[in-house]
Every structure is written in structure tokens, then in C-alpha cells.
């Protein structure tokens, strides 16, 4: 089969490799859609050190091509599936307290999504409803991460929610917050992305200028109070620091993105104390988030159409990575 192999910074090659063979309890999945994720780009650009060569890609959907021996029903060849790459044990302390995203025995399955096939345990698969396309299903993983964050973000009906960053993740947050009854404001430096934010349910959009990062306009849009919740999807310390100053009293600020490269910020302790601003974060997802993400896609609560700007064949994967790294458009997919 064909597989993209990352050998080092900027060195991504499509090569012929042996087809994977499913073991007992596994399925061979022919990949039809695979999303390019910022974590893939960090490996490609050298920001994140990785062992080479390897095949990236973990946001995938496809069709079961073959089953390993002694595969249980009701799985069958031809089933359309999305793949969850995080295997959790269900019995450790973290899993039993409802924090399976911190499973002590987690198995990070190497999906190797930028390839023709992958072999995965059946327990990591979700069967796709007819209404969910392969492209939509490839968003299950990032949407699951978004849902994990929203469990820690109180959103009352009519609340003002500010989403900082109008990339694919920010637009998923926008749709989820709007579905929860919020008035959503989206902030981004790239004005071209804000049209997509409106399509995704943003009531107001703000271009972040160089003077105050858009803080004054955000304050004006919220009658001088600031937003009730701020979701920061940009991993830049200066942006995070500015976002903390935008929040209303008794607000919640969710730091969704990790910082790359790593950095620190100075936090005025009076913000969480006197203004009673809750600062939290979120990491990965639990299995229920992945299943819920599929339901939201199935019933049209989340629409991926405004998010997908580029589609590439596997042979053009370097172009897909360069497009994403340059922030040209929004989401790039490898499709077959």
C-alpha cells in the first residue's frame, strides 16, 4: 500500500509499504478521509521532536476491508467506520473517576492515517450512520476534544461566549457553543476566517488588531462587562494573557490549546480572586465524547462543510501539509 512517511523536518515521502494484517479482534480499514491536524504540522515543521520515519495521521474514517480471526459480530466487511486512536482501560483510578482522558494504561494506537489502510482493534471503531460522510466522520476526534472542554465551561442560555481563534477548532467550538444557546463572538487576526465563523453561528466577529488585540471592541459588544466564557484555541502566551483580561466577572476561561513553543505568562492573581474568574484547561477526550461527536455530526448540530477548504490525494500530502502550515484556508483533508 501507499503510506506517507515523515523522515524529518519538511521531509514527507509517499512510499510503498507492506499492507497491515489484522490480528484477532482487529479490522483492516481502507481509509477514505484523513484530516491534517496541527499536531501533524508540529512534527512536520520540527517544533515537536518525533522518532523517524513514521506515518502520521489520526483523524480518519473509512471502510472495513477485512476482519482478523475470531472477530465478533456484528462487525462485517463493508462497515463504514470512524476510528478512535485512544484506547483506555476502564479500570484504573482515572477511568473509574470519569477522567479516562488521563487513563493510566492508555494505548495511543498508531493509526498511521495518511495511508491506504490501517489495522485497528474493533473496540476502537464507531459504525457510521448513513447520514454521516467519511469527511464528516474524520472530524470525530477533534470534535471529541472540543466536547471534553465544554463539560468544564458553564454556558447559560443567552450567555456571551468569546472564541479566540477562527481556525477549524475554533469553528467547532463556535458551533457547539451556539448549540448550547450562547451568543458567540469570534476573534481572529485573519479577517478572511471570520466569514466562516458567521456561517458557523457566530453572532459577532472581531478582527484582533495590534493595539489591544480586540479587547476594546469585545468590551463594547458585551455592554462593558466582557464575555461570560472565553475559549482560547490559540497556543500563544501573549494571546492567552490578553484573553484573561477580557473575561467578565465570575466568568470561565478555558485554555484549550497547548503552547508551541512552550512559554509562560504573568497572571494577575486579582483576576481569579477579586473578579472570581475560573481558569481551566482541557486535554484530549473520553470515549463518550467521541460517540457524542458522531451523534452531533449525524443530526446536523455540527456542520463540517464550512470548515473544509482543501482536499488532496495522498500523493499530494506535502502540499496539504504546507497549505495547513501556511494557514491558507481552513481544514485540509486527504481523501480517497
Domains of the chain, by residue range, sit at 2-142+284-335, 153-281
197/35 Cα distance (integer angstroms)? 20
Question: In the structure, what pLDDT confidence band is assigned to residue 73 with cuts at 50, 70 and 90?
Answer: confident
Q: HEC string of 235-299?
A: CCHHHHHHHHHHCCCCCEEEECCCCCCCCCCCCCCHHHHCCCCEEEECCCCCHHHHHHHHHHHHC
Mean pLDDT throughout 87-100?
Answer: 96
Q: Which CATH number fits domain 2-142+284-335: 3.90.180.10, 3.40.250.10, 3.40.190.10, 3.40.50.1000?
A: 3.90.180.10
Mean pLDDT throughout 142-163?
Answer: 97
Q: Over pLDDT 90: what percentage of the chain?
A: 91
Mean pLDDT throughout 72-92?
Answer: 94
| 191-195 CB contacts, 8 Å cutoff, 24+ apart | 193/166, 193/167, 193/330, 194/166
How confident is the model at residue 170, as a pLDDT?
98
When computed from its CA atoms, the radius of gyration of the chain, rounded to whole angstroms, is: 20
Is the pLDDT reported for residue 192 higher than 80?
Answer: yes
Q: Which of 127-141, 145-159, 177-191, 251-265 has the lowest mean pLDDT?
A: 251-265
pLDDT, mean over the chain: 95
How many residues are listed for the chain in this entry? 336
Q: Which of 98-112, 124-138, 219-233 has the lowest mean pLDDT?
A: 98-112
Q: Phi/psi class of residue 8: alpha, beta or left (left: φ > 0; alpha: ψ in -120 to 50)?
A: left
How confident is the model at residue 110, as a pLDDT?
83
Is the pLDDT reported for residue 334 higher than 80?
Answer: yes
pLDDT digits (tens, 9 = 90+) for 7-28: 999 999 999 999 999 999 999 9
pLDDT digits (tens, 9 = 90+) for 214-244: 999 999 999 999 999 999 999 999 999 999 9
Measuring CA to CA, which residue among 324, 300, 296 is closest to residue 310? 324
pLDDT digits (tens, 9 = 90+) for 312-332: 999 999 999 999 999 999 999
What interhelical angle do 140-150 and 287-298 show, nearest 10? Answer: 110
Tell me the C-alpha to C-alpha distance, in Å, between residue 20 and each of 1, 83, 95.
9, 16, 30
Question: In the structure, what pLDDT confidence band is assigned to residue 186 with cuts at 50, 70 and 90?
Answer: very high
Cis peptide before 74 (omega within 30 of 0): yes
For domain 153-281, give the fold: Rossmann fold (3.40.50)
How confident is the model at residue 219, as a pLDDT?
96
How confident is the model at residue 132, as a pLDDT?
98
Amino acid at each position: 500500500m501507499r503510506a506517507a512517511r515523515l523522515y524529518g523536518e519538511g521531509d514527507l515521502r509517499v512510499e510503498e509499504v507492506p499492507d497491515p494484517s489484522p490480528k484477532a479482534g482487529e479490522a483492516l480499514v481502507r481509509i477514505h478521509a484523513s484530516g491534517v491536524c496541527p499536531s501533524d504540522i508540529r512534527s512536520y515543521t520540527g517544533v515537536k521532536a518525533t522518532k523517524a520515519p513514521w506515518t502520521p495521521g489520526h483523524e480518519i474514517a473509512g471502510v472495513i476491508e477485512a476482519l482478523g480471526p475470531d472477530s465478533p459480530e456484528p462487525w462485517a466487511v463493508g462497515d463504514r467506520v470512524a476510528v478512535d486512536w485512544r484506547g483506555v482501560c476502564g479500570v484504573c483510578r482515572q477511568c473509574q473517576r470519569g477522567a479516562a482522558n488521563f487513563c493510566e494504561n492508555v494505548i495511543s494506537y498508531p493509526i498511521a492515517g495518511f495511508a491506504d489502510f490501517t489495522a485497528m482493534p474493533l473496540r476502537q471503531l464507531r459504525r457510521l450512520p448513513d447520514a454521516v460522510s467519511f469527511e464528516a466522520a474524520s472530524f470525530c476526534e477533534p470534535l471529541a476534544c472540543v466536547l471534553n472542554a465544554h463539560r468544564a465551561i458553564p454556558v447559560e442560555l443567552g450567555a456571551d461566549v468569546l472564541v479566540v481563534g477562527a481556525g477549524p477548532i475554533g469553528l467547532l467550538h463556535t458551533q457547539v457553543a451556539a448549540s448550547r444557546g450562547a451568543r458567540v463572538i469570534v476573534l481572529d487576526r485573519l479577517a478572511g476566517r471570520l466569514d466562516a465563523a458567521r456561517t458557523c453561528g457566530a453572532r459577532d466577529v472581531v478582527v484582533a488588531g495590534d493595539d489591544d488585540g480586540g479587547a476594546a471592541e469585545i468590551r463594547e459588544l458585551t455592554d462593558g462587562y466582557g464575555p461570560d466564557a472565553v475559549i482560547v484555541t490559540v497556543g500563544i502566551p501573549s494571546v492567552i494573557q490578553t484573553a484573561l483580561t477580557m473575561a467578565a466577572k465570575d466568568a470561565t476561561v478555558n485554555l484549550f490549546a497547548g503552547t508551541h513553543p512552550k512559554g509562560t505568562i504573568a497572571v494577575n492573581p486579582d483576576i481569579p480572586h477579586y473578579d472570581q474568574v475560573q481558569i481551566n484547561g482541557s486535554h484530549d477526550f473520553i470515549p463518550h465524547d467521541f460517540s457524542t461527536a458522531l451523534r452531533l455530526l449525524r443530526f446536523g448540530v455540527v456542520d463540517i462543510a464550512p470548515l473544509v477548504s482543501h482536499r488532496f490525494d495522498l500523493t499530494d500530502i506535502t502540499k496539504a501539509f504546507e497549505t495547513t502550515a501556511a494557514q491558507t484556508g481552513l481544514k485540509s483533508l486527504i481523501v480517497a
